[in-house]
A and B are shown apart, each in its own frame.
Chain A
Amino acid sequence: MPFGLLKYGFSRTYPVWRQFPPRPDLKPSYDVVIIGGGGHGLAAAYHLSRYHGITSVAVLDKGYLGGGNTARNTAIIRSNYLTPEGVAFYDEALRLFQGLSHEFDFNILYSERGHLTLAHTDAAIRTSRWRAEVNTHLGVESRLVFPDEIARIEPTLDLSREARYPVLGALYHVPGAVARHDAVAWGYGIRAAERGVELHPMTEVTGIEQADGRVTGVVTDRGTIKCGAVIQAVAGMSSVVAGMAGFKLPIRSIPLQACVSQPLKPFLNTIVVSGSLHIYISQSSRGELVMGSASDPYVLYSTRSSLEFTEGLMGHILELFPFLGDVKLMRQWAGITDMTPDFAPVMGTTPLDGYYIDAGWGTWGFKATPACGKNMAELVATGKVPDMIAPFTLERFHKFRMLGEKGAASVGH
């Protein structure tokens, strides 16, 4: 009906659906202020408003909502970690992700693909076996597979013995998935705003007010607001904001780069990862190959892209998928990660009362979003640290109780 369509399009009362309400003026005070309007901050706001009845919440962000690392990750969701604490936590996140589209009544394009972590050395086989055992013990579906089975799971992968680093086996994590990362932030933001949470993009925090060891307010470029509690969820800038609150973090800010190819017909079934080759690759629902590598080799607060990254990454991608030699790269970008010494996040209380930290998200932040938001909200609402996130406390670094997640959290080793 072209006429009906024209009438609709030129109507003066064109019924635009507005995703987020217009930004209101800042009130003088809120029960909870959340610094950082990415997936994590919005998830915490959503859980506070929906499950704990706390709606006097303001989410502040220096830029636009979901425009930081939420928009820059490679959207992979998995729970095949190495430590029991990590596996339990990321598995809670994965299970929440599975039901998120229904919970929001908003499609996050959750797509279960299966996740293959290739092993090219005996040591990698040993780690894969270890992860498979820990995962199975905790009810997570992961198992060690060998080239005959890998060939059935991922037929286009080069499994020849002539390869520079032949594939000896792989950890196959069946529930591994991808989702539309922006939609996760939008879903949380829309539903939180409906319950009364105020969203304040383009609002930069410049200071934290405190009295008697307790947080009392947040100074922003739009004025100062009083608050009962603060959640800091600004991975990438965690040290800078924690510095305003007066404490140090065991974090180095390091860029993580990624890129996408031109769209191709669907051929890649799973998410393929190689720790030895420092790469991961999956195919988006648009057909683009989403590719990433290890984080950059040194500290930098910049989201610049580099030629070294694409050059190194492509060399290794072509070892696994030689037929991609003529495919063009479309875009590349970077996010700033919070790298911790044990490759595990930092969540919980801080030396400043009422100031809660959600940081240390190196290359594992997006996949943790729902579980982190849920547990951080519970912590703020009840004042008690949930068992699920207790091992990730900031205190662990002073008690030498680190979590040793390096073998499963990244490809940079």
Chain B
Amino acid sequence: MKILNCPLNGPRNISEFVYGGEVTEMPDPNACSDAEWADYVLMENNTAGVIREWWYHAATAYWFVAERNTVTDEVVRTYPAGALFKERVAFGPPTEEGGR
């Protein structure tokens, strides 16, 4: 069984985790065009090499980030999402000014 090192729970079997896709930058949903949003939601870099990706430890409902090589399946390192995301993203309906 492959082992993934969860920043919260330590090394656990890979079957306890759910894959969340590559970490990409989200465009402002209230300001971007439909095409930009489609690009963000549906298009993939699908890089063959080391990428940053979301993983979820299902048993503890914990999302974190892993750097993994998509060719060799080696996990370079894992860390809490807070290392990348310093501010909370507010998902709200657009205000009258068009901002958030």
Q: Interface of A with B (CB < 8 Å)?
A: 239-240, 248-253, 297-302, 304, 306-308, 341, 397-400
Contacts and interface: CB of A to CB of B under 8 A. Distances in A.
B46 A239 contact: yes
Contacts of A300: 70-71, 73
Interface residues on B, range: 20 to 34
Contacts of A301: 48, 70-71
A240 B73 CA distance: 17
B22 to A, nearest CB: 8
Given A297-B19, A298-B19, A240 B48 contact: yes
Given A307-B1, A400-B38, A250 B44 contact: yes
B71 A249 contact: no
Nearest to A307: B1
A399 B33 CA distance: 12
A302 B42 contact: no
A301 B48 CA distance: 7
Given A297-B19, A307-B1, A250 B42 contact: yes
A398 B35 contact: yes
A413 to B, nearest CB: 14
Given A307-B1, A308-B15, A299 B46 contact: yes
A399 B18 CA distance: 29
B45 interface: yes
Contacts of B35: 398
In the A-B complex, the 5 residue pairs with the closest CB atoms: A239-B46, A298-B19, A250-B42, A248-B43, A397-B42
B14 to A, nearest CB: 8
Nearest to A341: B42
Contacts of A251: 44, 46
B44 A252 contact: yes
Contacts of B47: 239
Given A302-B73, A307-B1, A239 B39 contact: no
Please indicate which of the listed interface residues B38, B39, B48 has the most CB atoms of chain A within 10 Å of its own CB: B48
11 contacts: A239-B44, A239-B46, A248-B44, A251-B44, A252-B46, A253-B46, A253-B48, A300-B70, A300-B73, A301-B71, A397-B42
B38 A299 contact: no
A302 B38 contact: no
Contacts of A297: 14, 18-19
A197 to B, nearest CB: 29
Contacts of A299: 19, 21-22, 46, 53, 70
B19 A398 contact: no
A304 B71 CA distance: 10
B95 interface: no
B60 interface: no
B9 to A, nearest CB: 18
B34 to A, nearest CB: 8
Contact of B38 (A239, A240, A397): A397
A307 B2 CA distance: 10
A278 to B, nearest CB: 14
A232 to B, nearest CB: 14
Nearest to B72: A302
Given A298-B19, A397-B38, A249 B70 contact: no
Contacts of B15: 308
B84 to A, nearest CB: 19
A209 B40 CA distance: 27
Interface string B1-39: 110000000000011001101100000000000110011
Contacts of B45: 239, 248
A85 to B, nearest CB: 18
Interface string B63-100: 00000001111000000000000000000000000000
Contacts of B2: 306, 308
B44 A249 contact: yes
Given A239-B46, A297-B14, A308-B1, 9 more contacts: A248-B39, A248-B45, A249-B43, A250-B42, A252-B46, A300-B70, A300-B73, A302-B71, A398-B38
A399 B44 CA distance: 16
Contacts of B21: 252, 299
Contacts of B38: 397-400
Nearest to B51: A299
Contact of B73 (A304, A308, A397): A304
Nearest to A248: B43
